[in-house]
Every structure is written in C-alpha cells, then in structure tokens.
Amino acid sequence: MSNSNGTANGREPVILIKDMTKVYRMGEYEVHALNGVSLEIGAGEFVAIMGPSGSGKSTLMNMLGALDQPTDGTYLLDGTDISAMSDDQLADIRNRKIGFVFQNFNLLPRMPALQQVELPLIYAAKGQRHERARRALEMVGLGDRIDHRPSELSGGQQQRVAIARALVNEPAIILADEPTGNLDSKSGTEVMAIFQRLNREQGITILFVTHDPWIARHTRRIITLADGVVIRDEAVPEPLVAGKSARPSDEALVG
C-alpha cells in the first residue's frame, strides 16, 4: 500500500475503508447505521472518534475490529481485504492484529489478572505465557497486582488489566469503545497516559471512541461522526500530555 496517494499523514495506511455502509435489518425495519464512511488511518496514528449517541461510532469500531461485516464498501486492514474472509480467518486476524478495550472492561469475574492477560496467548498458541502476561501487566503499572481478581481492583485498575490483555499479543492496532466512559477523571487520565506511551514508544496505532472533548484532545486526530457519516476530521494542534495539564471545569469545557 504505498502508491502516491495511499498514505495517511505520510504514513502507511493500516486501515483503509471506502464507502462503507452498514444496514441493520430488524424484520421489516432497517437502521442505516453507517451511510458511506471513507477513512485512512496510518500506522502509528492516535485517533479519537466522537459524535452524538446513535451516530454509528460503535458500529464503525465493530467493522474496524472485524467483529462484524459491513453491508457494502471495502476494508483493507494492513493491506489485506478482509471482506472476503471466512469467520475463522477473521478470528485469526483479530487475534493477531487487534487488541480490544471496552467500556465495561469485559473481564472474567473470578479470574486473577495474570490469567486474564494470558487468555489471548492461549488462543494464539503462544508460549512463555506467564512471562509475557507479567510484562504486559508491568507495562500498565500493575506488576504488583497480578494475583488480584477484578473485585479486588478499582475500576481504573480493571481497565488497565483489560489494556494489558489487549497488548499481550503485540497487536498493530488497539481499538477501544469509550474506554474511559466508566472511569473517574483521574483513572481516565491514567488510561490516556498508558495509551500515549504505547503509541509513542511502541508505535501502536490507537483508535478510541469518547464523548469527552478533553480526553479527545490527548490524541493527535479527532474524527467526528453524525448520522453515520464523517462530518469532521481534524488534527489536534497541540495534544495534551496526560497528567501534565489539569482538567478544566465542566463549565469551562461547555462554555
């Protein structure tokens, strides 16, 4: 994928979608969740997706994560057309290339952190599972919590376990749907600090959905959806450094 116009911000596109639509059919009724989205995301980009509720953000993330197939349009992931793939091939691509982080963490309730993080390694049939999982937990600052179960961790710590689980297979992309949505502002900032470090030090491409304009300003690009189309796509001139700038009051953000 390196023709003259095939790069996003001068980088190789890791995500290239063209005229993507998604129609959910519910009996006689149709919901047009995506109405022709075209996007190019370069390797190593750090992107926030914003937009009102129902604008298609989660649908887009599901498509990008190969969790669901679009109704129409093309999707090249790392140069590979995934629209023609079987379910098994998609599962394999997901496991090798993509790490997912969810708003509600999606951890197994009774399982210690270390085992949670080992799960993707089991699916990928990779060795040295303890060692790799421990390293991923250390990367998110939880080296001293590896035996803790979710009920023994704060919300922010649980989300960090989920990030370690997303990281452990060394994915090219991390996709996160409102990862700070259930967190207080301090824990949200910690998640941003981890994302910024992973992006900067390991070059991992990160896309996440947020409702929070202040959180979005920690990225380098903000894409806004409305009614299933991209209505804005802009660079963040001076991204905030997580933990370095105090969050303004809600009044100041709104006003």
Q: Taking CB under 6 A as the rule, does residue 58 contact ligand ADP?
A: yes
| Binding segment toward ligand ADP, per CB under 6 A, in 39-47, 55-63, 212-220, 232-240 | 55-63
SS3 209: strand
Calpha distance 218→206 (Å, rounded): 12
Q: What is the DSSP letter of 241?
A: P
The H or E element that residue 202 is part of is helix 185-202
Applying CB under 5 A, the residues found at the interface with Mg ion are 57-58
Binding status of residue 54 toward ligand ADP by CB under 6 A:
yes
150 closest CA partner among 139, 140, 161: 161
26 binds, among ligand ADP, Mg ion, none (CB under 5 to 8 A by kind): ligand ADP
Binding ligand ADP (rule: CB under 6 A), the pick from 41, 45, 47, 57 is 57
Q: Which does 18 bind (CB under 5 to 8 A by kind): Mg ion, ligand ADP, none?
A: none
d(CA 146, CA 165): 12
Q: For residue 158, what are the CA distances in angstroms to 144, 190, 212, 236?
A: 13, 12, 20, 29
The only residue of 18, 19, 30, 31 in contact with ligand ADP, by rule CB under 6 A: 31
One of 13, 44, 56, 171 touching ligand ADP (CB under 6 A): 56
Contact stretch for ligand ADP (CB under 6 A) within 56-64, 70-78, 165-173, 244-252: 56-64
208 three-class SS = strand
DSSP 152: G
Residue closer to ligand ADP by CB (options 32, 197) is: 32
Q: Which residues bind ligand ADP (CB under 6 A)?
A: 24, 26, 31, 33, 51, 53-59
